[in-house]
């Protein structure tokens, strides 16, 4: 066995995925795009969400809560997102397309 093969040898007991519980409530939106350079998630909401609401981003590798400090629609600040509206939200974590957005519990 060579030097590198022993370094990259995986122990099956260490590589098990940890299952995280999915939020119990229904999602209020879905991430349609994420701009990593400016940390902005584009979210299409299924119901009205306002600035000041706390939301939970959840996906395969995403799991963080964020209080909405501001949101924009067509580069204009808005105070609430209407149903089926796509808005930009500045976030502290990394979101991914397809992540679901829930109201924080």
Domains of the chain as residue ranges with CATH: 25-103 (2.40.30.10)
pLDDT digits (tens, 9 = 90+) for 11-61: 544 444 445 777 778 999 999 999 999 999 999 999 999 999 999 999 999
* Cβ burial, residue 2 (10 Å; 0-12/13-18/19+): exposed
3 Rama sector, left if φ>0, alpha if ψ -120 to 50, beta otherwise: alpha
What is the model's pLDDT at position 16?
A: 44
- For 5, list phi and psi in degrees, rounded to 5: -65, -35
What is the model's pLDDT at position 15?
A: 40
């Amino acid at each position: 066995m060579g030097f590198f093969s022993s370094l990259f040898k995986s122990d099956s007991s260490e590589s098990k995925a940890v299952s995280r519980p999915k939020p119990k409530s229904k999602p209020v939106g879905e991430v349609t795009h994420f701009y990593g350079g400016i940390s902005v998630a584009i979210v299409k909401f299924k119901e009205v969400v306002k600035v000041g609401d706390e939301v939970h981003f959840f996906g395969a590798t995403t799991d963080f809560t964020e209080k909405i400090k501001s949101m924009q629609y067509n580069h204009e600040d808005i105070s609430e997102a209407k149903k089926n509206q796509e808005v930009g939200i500045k976030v502290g974590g990394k979101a991914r397309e397809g992540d679901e957005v829930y109201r924080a519990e």
